[in-house]
Structure 1
Amino acid sequence: MPSRDPDARPVYYLIASAGFPNLGDELITRAWLRYLADAAPDATVWVDTHSPGPARLLHGESHPGVRFVDTLWRLSSEAESEDPWEVASWVQQVVHNPGMSPRWHHGISLLQHLDVVHVLGGGYVNKVWPKHIGLLAGAASAIDRSGARGAMTGQ
């Protein structure tokens, strides 16, 4: 686990299904970003979502330090297998060994410098979309790799 500078800005990593748009997911994401704008206005807040561009347009003003990526969504969708256990295993391996997926290396490397990993919602993790289990596996691996606190709220 990397040591963090105690004077560094806190880094939050929110995993969400924002940007589609879907009213429930957008409300959940917006509510957490607004909460963090009040509770941690100096923090850097990364939102990992399947649609970072549209999410930026919808939520980019909700927190002064918000940024948008699709790292865990891409890793999950690019797993070769449809089997949830194999997807989860692959995503965990890649988070711990970013060189396995050089295209996403920078986004994966970001996962080692987090203070909080928070999965928002979760209705998108189900049998209909078996690869989405990779999001939970990636969150768990990011927590393990960074020493971050973990949270899940929503469905």
Structure 2
Amino acid sequence: MYWLIGGSGSMNYGDELIVRGWMSYLSRNESVKNIRIETNSKVSSERFHEEGVESAKEYGTAIVFDDFLYGLCGSVAGLSFWEQFVRGVEFFDKGGVDIYGEENFDFIDSVRAIHLHGGGYFNDIFPWHGFILGFTMSLAKREGIPAMATGIGLMPMGKPSREQREKFVSLMDCFSVFELRDVESFRLVKSLSGGKGNVVNGFDDNFMLKREDLFSCDGHGGTNLVLSFIEHDICRMSRSYLKRLSEYAREFDRVVFWECYPWQDENVIEFMRSHISDLEVVCSRDWVYARGRLSQNDRVIVSRFHPHFCAARVGVSGVYNIKGRYYDVKHGSIVALGSGFGKGSLSRLIRPEKRQGVLCLYDEELASMKRKIVDIGVQDFSLR
């Protein structure tokens, strides 16, 4: 069994897009016939990815979802990321299997590969996820199970203590590849790893999907203004910004809100509709499964990471808004790859200039480099 572990399950566009990409890629690998995807909500993932699971069956691949590991990591609160990491490392030695029920761990006997897929779920914002990193590294080392990590973003992240770092270093060589998606995360892991492990400054996992698989062009007529804001953006938008955004919206045939987090975006959508009455909403699942329409005639104004990334890959012009180190690092990684997006502001409207960016021009080459990094790890898996 191939154990794919990550931060999906909240129906967030970026996390679910990454899962869709891995389901598509792995189901075409003849050596992978059974996949268990660990998410933070088994039920939500099953509903969201019915389409992807059915597609995998056409290749003879069975996919199941579970959230058992997330139940373990959330069972102890109040610890820092690195304290949770140590808790995960010591889980087996301190009788964790007996405490949580030996029968719940029977599936581990069938695990032939451990894969921490990409996303920004390992950091100080979600400290309980440190348990997952420690648990999987310890398990891979104890049982000799091939493991890899791809497209990981770690910022913001505090430094571990000397003891915590020593535990991290002692387990790093369990990974055939430990790929980071931004240079800040790469520098952190490189400095902590003590030269162990194959640490790579790589790419986000959305590159597992070809850019032609990201959006639909069916029936696309006219021009769209596509918006993707975060709830805390609301209080940062000046009256002048909202007035000019409303005026700018009238220049387009359609104004579309790119839903990313259904339960988080409800208030944002309601607020935006009070200023743009004809606002249309395309839900997260439709964007993930390429039913959202986007073309180079459109303009995009975003605060979220993956809408920026995917729109830039297909050459759409836009601007991005940031606040705080978490999104600063994320958007910065796209700009470093050659996004044509300009930096926006929520105090005054900056209209997107028509600018494609080199990311679009070199997308195939970047996606090919991503696949080569992944192939290093998957080859190791195939040996078992």
C-alpha distance in 2, partners of 1:120/1:152?
6
Q: CA deviation at 1:134?
A: 1.0
Aligned to 1:52: 42
* Aligned positions, number: 143
1:22 to 6, 12, 25: 12
Change (3 A) 1:36 1:47: same
Question: Which of residues 58, 65, 68 is equivalent to 2:65?
Answer: 68
Distance 1:16 1:136, change over 3 A: same
Match of 1:111 in 2: 108
Runs of 4+ in structure 1 deviating by more than 6 angstroms, as ranges, are none
Q: CA deviation at 1:121?
A: 1.3
Pair 1:86 & 2:63 matched:
no
Q: CA deviation at 1:136?
A: 0.8
State how far apart, in whole Å, the 1-side matches of 2:68 and 2:6 are.
12
- Larger RCO, structures 1/2 (Cα 8 Å, 6+ apart): 1
Give TM-score, length-normalised by structure 2: 0.35
Cα offset, 1:83, TM superposition: 2.6
Percent of aligned positions that are identical: 27
Structure 2: segments with no counterpart, 5+ residues: 153-384
**Deviation of 1:72 (Å):** 1.9
Residue 7 of structure 1 aligns with which residue? none
Shift of 1:91: 2.4
CA distance in 2, matches of 1:100, 1:84: 22
Is 1:94–1:101's contact at 8 Å kept on the other side of the alignment? no
The answer to which of 145-154 and 87-96 deviates more is 87-96
Q: Report the CA distance shift for 1:31/1:56 in structure 2 as closer, same or farther (over 3 A).
A: same
Shift of 1:86: 3.0
Note if contact 1:56-1:68 (Cα within 8 Å) is conserved in structure 2: yes
Q: Please tell me whether the aligned partners of residues 71 and 108 of structure 1 are also in contact (alpha carbons under 8 angstroms).
A: no
1:91-141 alpha-carbon deviations (Å, 9 max, x no partner): 233345411222xx4343323431110011130111111111111112112
**1:5 counterpart residue number:** none
> Are the aligned partners of 1:48 and 1:71 in contact in 2 as well (CA < 8 Å)?
yes
Q: Which has the larger radius of gyration?
A: 2
